[in-house]
Structure 1
Amino acid sequence: MKSLLVDINEAFKNAEDFFKEPFTVDSEAVLLLGLNSLVDLVNTKEMLKKGMDPTTEITLVKRTFFNRRLVEINCEEAIDSILQGKLIVFSKEQNKMFLFEPLPKELNRSIEQPTNENVIQGPLDSFIEDMSTNIGLVRKKVYSDQLSVKTYTVGSDQKKKLTIVYLENCADKDMIKKIISHIEVNQQKNIFYLQHLYRFMGIRKWEVIPQFNMTEMPLETVDCLNKGRVILFVDGFPFALILPHLLWDMFAQANDRNYSIPIMSAMRFLRVLGAFVTLTFPALYVALVAVNPEVLKVELALSIAQSREGIPYPPFVEMTLMLLIIELIVEASIRLPLSIGPTVTMVGGIVIGQAVVDAKLVSNLLIIVVAATSIANSTVIGFQNALILRLLKYVIVIFASIYGVLGVLTGLVFISAYFASRVIFGIPYTSFAKRRREIG
Structure 2
Amino acid sequence: MQRINEQNLNALKKQLSGRLEKNSDFTCKNVVIGTEKFEAYFFETLVNFPATLSAIKESVTGRDNESLMNMFRPIEEDSIMLSGDWLSALLQGGIILLSMEGSVAVIEQERSDIFRPVSSPESENPLQSAFDAFTEDININIGLLRKKMVSDQLVIETRYTGSQSTKRLAVLYLEGVAQTKVIQSIREKLEQNKDRELTTVRDLLQILGHPKFAITPTYISSELPGEMVQNLKNGKVVILIDQFAFAFAFPAIITDLWSTTLDLNYPYLFQVFLRIIRAGGAILATTLPGMYVVLNSVNPELLRIQLAITVAKSREGVPYPTLIEVLLVMLLLEMIIEAAIRLPKNIGPTFTMIGGILLGQAIVQAKLVSNLLIIILVASAIANFVLAGYMNTIGIRMYKYVVVFVSSCFGIWGLEVSIIWIIVYFASMNTCSVPYLSLSVKGKSPDE
The normalised TM-score by structure 1 is 0.94
| Cα contact 1:175–1:426 (8 A) shared by 2 | yes
1:23-422 alignment to 2 at 5 Å? 23-51=31-59, 53-54=61-62, 59-60=63-64, 62-69=65-72, 70-73=74-77, 74=80, 76-92=84-100, 94-422=101-429
Structure 1 window deviating more from structure 2 (321-330 vs 74-83): it is 74-83
Q: Which residue of 7, 13, 24 corresponds with 1:5?
A: 13
Count how many residue pairs are aligned between Structure 1 and Structure 2.
431
Deviation at 1:293, TM superposition (A): 1.0
Q: Distance in 2 between matches of 1:161 and 1:191?
A: 9
Deviation at 1:51, TM superposition (A): 4.3
Aligned-partner SS, 1:90: strand
Q: Distance in 2 between matches of 1:21 and 1:393?
A: 62
| Cα contact 2:178–2:443 (8 A) shared by 1 | no
| Cα contact 1:246–1:432 (8 A) shared by 2 | yes
Aligned residue for 1:15?
23
Aligned-partner SS, 2:216: coil
Cα RMSD (Å): 1.7
Q: Distance in 2 between matches of 1:347 and 1:136?
A: 44
Q: Describe the superposition over 1:147-168 as per-residue Cα deviations: whole angstroms up to 9, x where unpaired.
A: 1111111111100111111111
Deviation at 1:362, TM superposition (A): 0.2
Aligned residue for 2:4?
none
Q: Distance in 2 between matches of 1:413 and 1:63?
A: 73
Aligned-partner SS, 2:131: coil
| Cα contact 2:178–2:441 (8 A) shared by 1 | no
Amino acid at match of 2:317: G
Unaligned runs of 5+ in 1: none
Q: Describe the superposition over 1:20-76 as per-residue Cα deviations: whole angstroms up to 9, x where unpaired.
A: 11112334432111011111112223234434543xxxx34x434423424335151
Deviation at 1:259, TM superposition (A): 1.5
Q: Distance in 1 between matches of 2:34 and 2:53?
A: 13
Query: Residues 229 and 28 (structure 1 numbering): CA distance in 2 closer, same or farther, change over 3 Å?
Result: closer
The normalised TM-score by structure 2 is 0.92
Deviation at 1:308, TM superposition (A): 0.9
Query: Residues 194 and 346 (structure 1 numbering): CA distance in 2 closer, same or farther, change over 3 Å?
Result: same
Aligned residue for 2:431?
424
Query: Residues 133 and 47 (structure 1 numbering): CA distance in 2 closer, same or farther, change over 3 Å?
Result: closer
Query: Residues 64 and 347 (structure 1 numbering): CA distance in 2 closer, same or farther, change over 3 Å?
Result: farther
Aligned-partner SS, 1:39: coil
Query: Residues 143 and 67 (structure 1 numbering): CA distance in 2 closer, same or farther, change over 3 Å?
Result: closer
Identity of aligned residues (%): 35
| Cα contact 2:34–2:61 (8 A) shared by 1 | no
Amino acid at match of 1:71: I
Deviation at 1:436, TM superposition (A): 9.0
Deviation at 1:418, TM superposition (A): 0.7
Unaligned runs of 5+ in 2: 1-8
| Cα contact 2:293–2:408 (8 A) shared by 1 | yes
| Cα contact 2:236–2:250 (8 A) shared by 1 | yes
| Cα contact 1:65–1:98 (8 A) shared by 2 | no
